[in-house]
Amino acid sequence: MKSLKIIYYIVIAFIVLVAILLIVSAFPIPGNYKVLVVQSGSMEPKIKTGSIVVVKPEKDFKIGDVITFGPYSKTKAPTTHRIYDMKVVGGEPIYITKGDANNAPDTREIKKADIVGKVLFSVPFLGYAVDFAKKPIGFALLIIVPAALIIVDEIKKIYAEIKKKKTK
């Protein structure tokens, strides 16, 4: 019975974690940490497809930093690559990036204004759960159903407690 309770709390903690990540990734606040899902294998083996990356805005970047850049919308995800080279044009830094798994650097040059931030760390495979939770069926299965089960369980406990008090 005790191991069942431990599993119960682990599942609850996982659901809460996914819910928090879902909220943070769905409502990114400008200038704040962002949680994004990696969509491709261009950074493998360092960052696996389906990982989440935690990105922090920075003022300066250097060669070797892993950065996230590009547009961020519901239809277009930003790219996460390593800074391969940089040059200064008109006093502004221009970054050349490359995915660790790619053979050649990216052809697009990145301006500082296009950079979302520097990747602090990644968590493998958690992005699959966050992406699944963003879909209506995933949201229902990962958030609403477990929440309903918890509420029903608590109602049963309250009912049992009331029944005990009435019998006394």
Active-site positions? 40
Token pair of 95 as six digits? 């970054």
pLDDT (tens, 9 = 90+) of the chain, 168 residues, equals: 677 778 878 877 877 777 777 666 666 566 677 888 898 999 999 999 999 898 888 989 999 999 999 887 667 789 999 999 999 999 899 999 999 999 999 999 999 999 989 998 898 988 888 788 778 888 777 777 778 888 888 899 899 999 888 887
d(CA 66, CA 81): 6
pLDDT of residue 103: 94
Is residue 143 in a domain? no
Longest dimension (CA), the chain: 84
The domain spanning residue 56 has which CATH number? 2.10.109.10
- Tokens 């996914």 belong to residue: 18
Is residue 47 in a domain? yes
Domain with 14, as residue range(s), is: 2-134
> Among candidates 50, 54, 43, 28, which has minimal Cα distance to 126?
50
How many domains would you assign to the chain? 1
Is residue 156 in a domain? no
pLDDT of residue 27: 65
Is residue 168 in a domain? no
Is residue 111 in a domain? yes
Is residue 85 in a domain? yes
d(CA 150, CA 116): 37
pLDDT of residue 2: 76
d(CA 154, CA 78): 42
Is residue 153 in a domain? no
Is residue 146 in a domain? no
Token pair of 145 as six digits? 């159903």
What contacts 24+ positions apart, CB below 8 Å, involve 84-91?
86/61, 86/62
